[in-house]
Amino acid sequence: MLPSPPAISPARLHKLVTSQQDPLLALELVTVTSPTTKPHPATLHSLLLRLARRRDHLPHALALLRRLPSPPSPHLLLPLLLSVLRLRRPPQLFLSTFNSLFVSGPSPLPLHPQLLLRLLGALSSTPSHFPSALHLLRLVSSRLPLPAPLVLASHNLLIDAAARSGHVAVSLSLFHRLRSLHVSPDADTYRILTQSLCCKAQVRTAATLLDEMLHRGIPADPLAYTTVLNALCRKKQLREAYRLLCLMRGRGVSLDIVHYNTVIVGMCREGRTLDACKVVGDMVESGCTPNAVTYATVVNGLCVSGLYDKAEAYLADMVGKGLVPHFSVFHSVIKGCCTVGKVEEAAQIMSWMLDLGVVPHVESWSSLIRCVCTDEDCIEAELLQMVGWQCGSNTISSSTLSDVT
């Protein structure tokens, strides 16, 4: 019987192992000294990672892994498995290694949730490895008793990865697979799918998913609703957009200013300003206060449609609520009033503009002056009102008026 080697300290063994170029010789050092020296965990971890870098050394790495005094942590297993993945071999080597460690080996290791999610994330980030990510997900969800939250999180991760790569069909397949596993999708699942479907112009399918989510009472991310509403409006499916808005209210969804403004902008863009005004009314009834974007969109839309009286009323309401319109909003109404010969109304709006400190555009002045010059009865009074703020006086000479006209 061979005598036992002299005992050395774990620190000395660690130095010898890490300085050895050949990992097999380093493994032999650990094996030979094992009767007298217990290696430090860092020594074994370093040796494991070195062995996993070569395919012919991989069996030794797996054997050493099973000899560890305690179950390996995810911090060790993750780099070990990623090293196997980087061997530039077919992904079957990675999958078979994972299978032997966690699924069908003699003593399967416990699978930590974060380890699974990190592995799926690493695989799905590379297009060539994405099929392996799908295979891994099928393997663990069918062979291991995973908790429902982990099944959902892992599926959501790959649904998102597939959607970002433009593979919406794969995302939908994973979505339906969740149901076959008796796991309910959550708000994140629906948000990812609706956004990717809208990017692919599959707006009707996205709207159907939102209907389903509302029916199931899942509190959704507001961004999911905004995305579908915006897509419906851009596809000119305004009736569907308004129907979804009403459905959201009926299901108790807390609508915000973005949801309403999305539909209002879409309706005004298509010339349906009176329908947009109805949405503004619904908005006020539901307790959501219109903002500057709401008013500006409606006022400009009404002016384009030739409904200057209603535009002026909305502008007055906007100013009355302390909102300061952009000069372009004033310009639309001034130009519209001048177009139909409403000189006094145009001048009044110009006065509001100046009182609020909004600098008129030169086109606003031009439109109003041209309109005034066709009405000799009020030319002097209106020009005094318009020019007086610049002169710093309430009087202006007749010669000056003559020069202006």
The domain spans of the chain are 7-101, 291-386
User: Does residue 227 carry a pLDDT above 90?
Assistant: no
C-alpha torsion sign, points 174, 175, 178, 180: negative
Among residues 240, 247, 200, 242, which one has the least CA distance to residue 220?
Answer: 247
pLDDT top residue among 333 and 373: 333
Main-chain phi, psi angles of 221, to 5 degrees: -65, 130
CB 175 within 8 A of CB 182: no
The structure tokens listed for 126 are: 């590379």
The structure tokens listed for 312 are: 């002026």
User: Does residue 371 carry a pLDDT above 80?
Assistant: no
Mean pLDDT of 258-286: 93
User: Does residue 168 carry a pLDDT above 50?
Assistant: yes
Residue 375, classed as helix, strand or coil, is coil
Mean pLDDT of 40-53: 82
Tens digits of residue pLDDT in 386-398: 555 444 433 333 3
Integer Cα distance of 84 and 187 in angstroms:
35
What is the fold of 291-386? Answer: 1.25.40
- Confidence bin at 2 (pLDDT 50/70/90): low
Which pLDDT score is estimated for 3? 62
- Confidence bin at 261 (pLDDT 50/70/90): very high
Which pLDDT score is estimated for 201? 82
Residue 111, classed as helix, strand or coil, is coil
- Confidence bin at 46 (pLDDT 50/70/90): confident
- Confidence bin at 380 (pLDDT 50/70/90): low
Minimum mean pLDDT range among 140-149, 157-166, 355-364, 367-376: 367-376
**Between vectors from CA 74 to CA 144 and to CA 180, what angle results, nearest 5°?**
25
Integer Cα distance of 22 and 51 in angstroms:
9
Whole-angstrom CA distances from 88 to 77, 93, 224 are 19, 10, 40
CB 102 within 8 A of CB 130: no
